[in-house]
Amino acid sequence: MILAGVLLLLALVLPGLPLGEWRAFLLDTAQFAFLISGLALAWDLLARTGQLSLAHGAFFGLGAYAAALSAPALGTVPALLVGGAVATLSSLLLGLATLRLQGMYFAIATLAFSEVMRTLVLKAQFTGGSIGLPVQPAFGGAYPLGGYYLAVAVLVICTLASLLLSKSRLHFAMAATRQGEAVARVLGVPVVRVKLVTFMISAFLAGLTGGVYAMKTLFLSPYDAFGLGRAVEALVIPIFGGLYTTTGPLLGGLIIVSLETWLRLRIGEGYLVVYGLVLVLTILFLPKGLMSLFARRKGARHA
Amino acid sequence: MDLLLQTLINGILAAGIYALVASGLALAVGVVGIVNFAHGEFSMIGAFVSYLLFVGAGIDPLISLGLAALVLFVVGAITYYGLIRPVLAAPELNQMLLTFGISVALQNIALLLFGADTRVVSTSYQGATITLGGISFGAPPFAAFVLSVGLLGALYWFLGKTRLGFAVRAVAQNRLAPGLLGIETQQIYLLAFGLSAALAGIAGVMLSVMLYASPTVGFAYTLKAFAIIVMAGLGNLRGVVPAAITLALAEAFVSTYVPGGGGWVEAVFFLVIFVALTWRSWRLS
């Protein structure tokens, strides 16, 4: 909670600080970090129901393309909402077909979905195919910091959604679904509906994030927007930071994106290897993520 | 008419290698209970083993088949022992994340070592074709098909006729009871996961000749193998062969008859997964 407040304050004043010649680079990296952390928070929402989604990269890409294509006609904010809506609609269809079944079916279907979306965008005409799609900057470029503050806003929305959902009745329904569907059902939790609603909220946030990303990079290609990299980032960050929490993905996002930015400069394309290793090592040795370190220390102080 | 026949043959020939990869995956899912997202990466390693042996030592892929199977059995056993075993009791989410992490790590290690280029093992017989009554097809796909059928036959024989095979099937059916009967459950898991990786590795050697070796070559096969075992029912080994034939034929027909079908072939497996899952969902409710 406190960390979230401090981060928000820092994010708001960052453009005003005297950063010297690193200003542009820092602001760009920060903006990227906000967006990826937002995506990670969205992914974590669904993980709270025990479902593994490998499609969040695809929702991010769908949101990006939908926002980019509708922005000239609708304006920035409505276009972002369109991006979120397209992602939500696709999650509804995918969820209706798979969320009734065991969790592994869902994971497989989401992975297949993200692969097939890239194929479709590559083949389609109106998306620019493999050539890519140029995107207008946010608000037609009227405000130089518009994109930056949109990213801050999206991160705030994702954080609030994460916080509110962990205080709501839905939170308990989600936890019960995760810990044992049969028991949850006996207790009167409409398991399938809980999973579906969470999936749609999560996909909407991912689509929103993607839209702002499109207006940041100003150019979309299927390999970038629908790359496996996005899906990997979306899940490594919450796991590294701490699943089922709000602070975890925020903290993880800060650390992992810094690491990624540095690695991209050093080793280029293969930087994802670090994500794979972080994922494997965290699952094996720190399954509750960084947050469990703090929790343990707090527990020790009480004892 | 010839076109139809040609399409049918292309589909059937492709089904062999699909069935090989998918039955390995079905072993991992059915016996060990692990959804292994890194399955295709075992094929990728097999393809690179074949490539490196061919370029480095001039060893023919036909001989590499055995070597790759051995290497991948060991890789699979180590993966099971070091990485999978610790999470067998963990929530399903953690298990799937772990294998996905292994997949991402292996793909990118290969990318760092070899770069993104595709490398073909070009043997003297690579371009050879067989012509039968106006229908022609490549010799390597035909050989791969025959070999796949032989290996699948051996696998079914092992599972259906040997004591060890019975033990594997017993463990697949019940986690606890075989232990009480004196079957070493842990060793069976190890064996099944090793076999699963070895089958993927053999398929990888075939891919290195028929397609190429590259860091991402295995990933497409992970997805196709998933489509096949989802159609067959997760862990159901019997259904794998008909499901593999269905997928391969569907792809062959799309590639022949759909205009501009080349790119759409890559979407067929998703349609198969989606239809199979929707059907399962409907039957459930």
Q: Are B134 and B154 in contact (CB under 8 A)?
A: no
Q: What are phi and psi of B213, to 5 degrees?
A: -105, 125
Q: Does B130 touch chain A (CB under 8 A)?
A: no
What mean pLDDT do residues B129-140 have? 81
Q: What pLDDT does residue B262 have?
A: 66
Q: How far apart are CA B102 and CA B219, in angstroms?
A: 12
What mean pLDDT do residues A181-193 have? 92
Please give the model's pTM, rounded to 2 decimal places. 0.91
Q: What pLDDT does residue A300 have?
A: 47
B199 pLDDT higher than 90: yes
Q: What pLDDT does residue A199 have?
A: 97
Q: What pLDDT does residue B261 have?
A: 64
> What is the percent of chain B with per-residue pLDDT over 70, rounded to a whole number?
99
Q: How far is CA A77 from the centre of its chain?
A: 19
Q: What pLDDT does residue A296 have?
A: 62
Q: What are phi and psi of A59, to 5 degrees?
A: -65, -40
Give B135's pLDDT tier (boundaries 50, 70, 90).
Answer: confident
Q: What pLDDT does residue A47 have?
A: 94
Half-sphere exposure of A45 (CA within 13 A, CB side): 30
Dihedral angle of Cα A261, A88, A199, A39, to the nearest 10 degrees:
10
Q: What pLDDT does residue A301 have?
A: 44
Partners of residue A220 on adjacent β-strands? A133
Q: How far apart are CA B171 and CA A131, in angstroms?
A: 51
SS3 B131: strand
B169 pLDDT higher than 70: yes
Q: What pLDDT does residue A303 have?
A: 36
Q: What pLDDT does residue A124 have?
A: 82
Number of domains in chain B: 1
Closest residue in chain A to residue B231, using alpha carbons only: A105
Q: What pLDDT does residue A281 have?
A: 94
Please give the structure tokens belonging to residue A248: 């975890």
Domain ranges of chain A: 29-222
Q: pLDDT tens digit string along A263-288? A: 888 877 778 888 999 999 999 999 88
A103 pLDDT higher than 60: yes
CA angle, residues A259, B93, B169, in degrees to nearest 5: 130
What mean pLDDT do residues B257-264 have? 75
Q: Please report residues of B whose CB lies closer than 8 A to that of A52.
A: 92-93, 96-97, 100
What mean pLDDT do residues A142-163 have? 91
- Among A55, A278, A36, A98, residue whose Cα is nearest residue B98: A278
What is the domain extent for residue B213? 2-284
- Looking at the partner chain, which of B94, B103, B230 has a beta carbon nearest the beta carbon of A108? B230
Query: ipTM of the predicted structure?
Result: 0.89
The per-residue b/e assignment along A7-43, b for 16 or more CB within 10 angstroms, e otherwise, is beeebeebbeeeeeeeeeeebebbbbbbbbbbbbbbb
Mutation choice for A interface testing from B100, B265, B281 by most A CBs within 10 A: B100
Q: What pLDDT does residue A94 have?
A: 93
Q: Please report residues of A whose CB lies closer than 8 A to that of B106.
A: 276
Higher pLDDT, B183 or B205: B205
Q: Is B111 within 8 Å of A109 when comparing Cβ atoms?
A: no
Q: What pLDDT does residue B285 have?
A: 65
What mean pLDDT do residues A2-27 have? 78
Please give the structure tokens belonging to residue B239: 């259904």
- Among A159, A212, A152, residue whose Cα is nearest residue A13: A152
**A133 to each of A120, A130, A245, how far by Cα in Å?**
14, 9, 36
Q: Please report residues of A whose CB lies closer than 8 A to that of B112.
A: 267, 270, 273
CA angle, residues B134, B135, B139, in degrees to nearest 5: 130
A298 pLDDT higher than 70: no
Taking all residues of chain B, what is their mean pLDDT, rounded to a whole number? 90
Among B49-63, B79-93, B121-135, B178-192, whose mean pLDDT is lowest? B121-135
Measured between its terminal Cα atoms, the distance across chain A in Å is: 24
Q: What pLDDT does residue A59 have?
A: 97
Q: pLDDT tens digit string along A23-50? A: 888 888 999 999 999 999 999 999 999 9
B263 pLDDT higher than 80: no
CATH for B206: 1.10.3470
Most confident of A14-28, A131-145, A197-211, B233-247: A197-211
**List of long-range contacts for A142-149, beta carbons under 8 Å, 24+ apart:** A145/A15, A146/A76, A147/A31, A147/A212, A147/A215, A147/A216, A148/A15, A148/A27, A148/A30, A148/A31
Q: What pLDDT does residue A9 have?
A: 80
Closest residue in chain A to residue B279, using alpha carbons only: A97
A214 pLDDT higher than 90: yes
